[in-house]
Amino acid sequence: MAYNLKEVVKKESRLVSGHRMCAGCGAPPAVRGVLRALKGEDNAVVACATGCLEVSTCIYPYTSWNNVSFIHTAFECAAATLAGIETTYKSLKKSGKLSQDKTTKFIAFGGDGGTLDIGLQSLSGAMERGHDITYVCYDNGAYMNTGTQRSSSTPHFADTTTTPAGKYIPGKTQPRKDLTEIMIKHNISYVAQTALFGNLKDLYEKSEKAIYTEGPTYLTVFSPCPRGWGYPTDDLMEIEKLAVNTCFWPLYEVENGKYKITYKPTNKLPVEEFLKTQKRFKHMFKEGNEWMIKELQEEIDKKWNYLLFMEEITNK
């Protein structure tokens, strides 16, 4: 059935209002969007890494998680925790302790800190072992829950509280870690990068594939943070759009080794268009710092060309 936003939003939401996430944050619509791809009749267990999402959605004695079971254990081990749950599901199904006709899906959510940094080992292990789980990273490019410290996902040159743009050091001096490619190299069946783009079709379809592809799958969603990035809360969707149209955040998926760029901007915008919407890149526009924008643009073009190349050769 063709995607229809008006239809899919009629599904009962699995993350409901009452949570304390900030206005203008990308994470709640990302989570709701991912969970919307679950079939109505299917249940799910969500495991959450410590982070904004967890501390804002399950404050005792309340929970915003609806029509799913939810667990949080610690920062670095959402994948391992979920692996234990998924394995026990298999075990209990096998021994007849759970009914055979009901399906439960297993989804982890972690920020980029809990995924690319401290949780990388746990994630890599779970992916390698082949658990039937979907790991979703909501990537806002820093440790936002503790106050915008740099992570390995922080963009090159970004100003964070531990890579402050100063007199001698111009923000983060290293480019981003490309976890999507690292996940692809785990040779799992489905890896995708998505954003809150347009009518959320890209997010929905990739989530559906990720959740319903057997075995481990990885999905990363571009999740702006108004406090950490410095933008007015109502700019969320505009920033998402610019990230995609500048190819700062390419939308693509890799299914059984085949690359597919799911959106190619007809008019690829220069990265400045994205950078100028956020305070964290403000220093890059100062006189004498033009080289930063140039270098970042080169990095973006390199990745984009790499994706075009991979799409071509993996589909031959």
Q: Which is nearer to other proteins, 86 or 253 (CB)?
A: 86
Minimal distance, residue 71 CB to other proteins, in Å: 5
Instruction: Report the interface residues with other proteins, using CB under 8 A.
Output: 43, 45, 47, 54-55, 58-61, 63, 65-74, 76-77, 79-85, 87-92, 94-95, 97-99, 102, 104, 121-122, 124-126, 128-129
CA 266, 271, 273, 278 torsion: positive or negative? positive
Q: Which is nearer to other proteins, 214 or 287 (CB)?
A: 214
Question: What whole-number distance in Å separates Cα of residue 274 and Cα of residue 231?
Answer: 11
Minimal distance, residue 210 CB to other proteins, in Å: 20
Asked whether 265 and 242 are in contact (CB, 8 A), the reply is no
Q: Which is nearer to other proteins, 50 or 194 (CB)?
A: 50
Minimal distance, residue 91 CB to other proteins, in Å: 4
Minimal distance, residue 107 CB to other proteins, in Å: 12
Q: Which is nearer to other proteins, 19 or 209 (CB)?
A: 19
Q: How many CA atoms lie within 13 A of 15 on its CB side?
A: 25
Q: Which of 107, 106, 48 is nearest to 75 (CA)?
A: 48
Q: What is the 3-state secondary structure (H, E, C) of 245-281?
A: HCCCCCCEEEECCEEEECCCCCCCCCCHHHHCCCHHH
> Which one-letter amino acid corresponds to residue 285?
F
Minimal distance, residue 22 CB to other proteins, in Å: 16
Q: Which is nearer to other proteins, 47 or 165 (CB)?
A: 47
Question: What whole-number distance in Å separates Cα of residue 104 and Cα of residue 86?
Answer: 9
Q: Which of 225, 219, 223, 185 is nearest to 108 (CA)?
A: 219
